[in-house]
Each structure stands twice: as C-alpha cells, then as structure tokens.
Chain A
Amino acid sequence: GNSVTQMEGPVTLSEEAFLTINCTYTATGYPSLFWYVQYPGEGLQLLLKATKADDKGSNKGFEATYRKETTSFHLEKGSVQVSDSAVYFCALSDDGGATNKLIFGTGTLLAVQP
C-alpha cells in the first residue's frame, strides 16, 4: 500500500542554519505530494505541494522537489528562524481520483535555537 517515510526527529538547529528534512514515499500510481506544518496547539497548515514529477513547491523560504526517480520529496530551507519551530509532516494523495485522502508520515519535530 501507499506510505510515507520521514526522517525521525527531533532536529535541533541554530538560527540561520540550513534545514533538510528527508521524505520518501511508496505509491502505486502518480501521487500528489505535500508538506504540512503543525505549530504547538494548532491544526495542520499546508506549507507547499507538488502534483507531478520534477515540480518544485515553495513557500515562506521552504522548498521541496518531486523526484520520481528516487521517490523523494525532501523539505529544505536555506536559513531557519526560531519561528519555524514546529512539527513537519510529509504527505501524499493518491486515491485514483475518488478522494483527496492524505497519507501522512509520522512527523519531524524541528527545534530552532536562537
């Protein structure tokens, strides 16, 4: 079945450091890929998405490229801020068009220190 695997956290970085959170997926079809962010005590917010191979999603300085050959969608940011501290979830949507059901990874906690 379809699944998402994320690197385990926590990831602890100093402010202005470079961030990479790895995400790989398994899917039978051609999924759409997403990164969601969850701040403490809040629901999920869409950070970025890509719907086909080689697409790059970007938002708020974060980027991720849909790599079909490596089945990956790694999240990157060139310079993190304390306000980026949150849990990041990689997800895919691949339900043959019937639903926009999302399959999530287990999440990666990012802690940015001043």
Chain B
Amino acid sequence: ETGVTQSPTHLIKTRGQQVTLRCSSQSGHNTVSWYQQALGQGPQFIFQYYREEENGRGNFPPRFSGLQFPNYSSELNVNALELDDSALYLCASSFQTGQGTEAFFGQGTRLTVV
C-alpha cells in the first residue's frame, strides 16, 4: 500500500506567476483535501474533492482551484501568485468523506514566492 505522495517537494516562483502542485492519493482512497500551512501556523483547509467533484471549500479566493482525476489523484492550481502564498501545501487523502474519517497526509510541497 503506497502512501500519499506530493510533487514537487520544493518550488520557487515569481509573484504573478501560476503554479500547479500534484498529489497522488493513497491506494483505495477516493477523497482528497488540500491545506495551506504558513510558517508557524496550523494547516488551513483550501478545498476537498470527492469522486472528481469539489464538495467543500475553505476561505480562499477563486485563484486557488483544483482538479481530481479518475484515478483520484489531484492537482492544486494557484494563479497570480502573491508573496503571502508562500507556504507548505499539504495534500490529504481518505477512503471516504464525512466527519471523523481519518485523513492521511503527504509530506507537502514547500512553495516560495519571490
């Protein structure tokens, strides 16, 4: 059983650019969530995908968007990057959605916007 994997591990982008982060969910999992973790803070929920549909979104602007593919892997896209977007982006997968379901996290992608 493979765990949650994210790519790339580190990324440096310039303000105004666009970025795509990728996540492969754990085998058997159909739900993927994305979180932003600023330095010294707890992770903040961006959105969740369940069977290729977005089924929940946090307080993030529309320039944060995502996709989930038929194999349940996922992408997070961020347009018009701002300096405050610098953070660790975490992907988490679970075998179903719903309160109390355990989420398994990847190691994250460290994004630096300069």
Contact = CB atoms under 8 A, between A and B. Distances in A.
Interface string B85-96: 000001010101
A101 B56 contact: yes
A22 interface: no
A31 B99 contact: yes
B62 interface: no
A57 B54 CA distance: 31
Contacts of A42: 107
Interface residues of A, number: 29
Interface in A12-39: 31-32, 36
Interface in B20-47: 31, 33, 35, 40-45
B55 interface: yes
Interface in A67-114: 89, 91, 93-107
B42 to A, nearest CB: 3
B94 A43 contact: no
Contact of A49 (B58, B90, B100, B104): B100
Interface string A29-63: 00110001000011111100101000000000000
Contacts of A46: 102-104
A107 B41 contact: yes
Given A51-B100, A100-B101, A101-B33, A43 B108 contact: yes
Interface of A: 4, 31-32, 36, 41-46, 49, 51, 89, 91, 93-107
Interface of B: 4, 31, 33, 35, 40-45, 48, 50, 55-56, 58, 90, 92, 94, 96-108
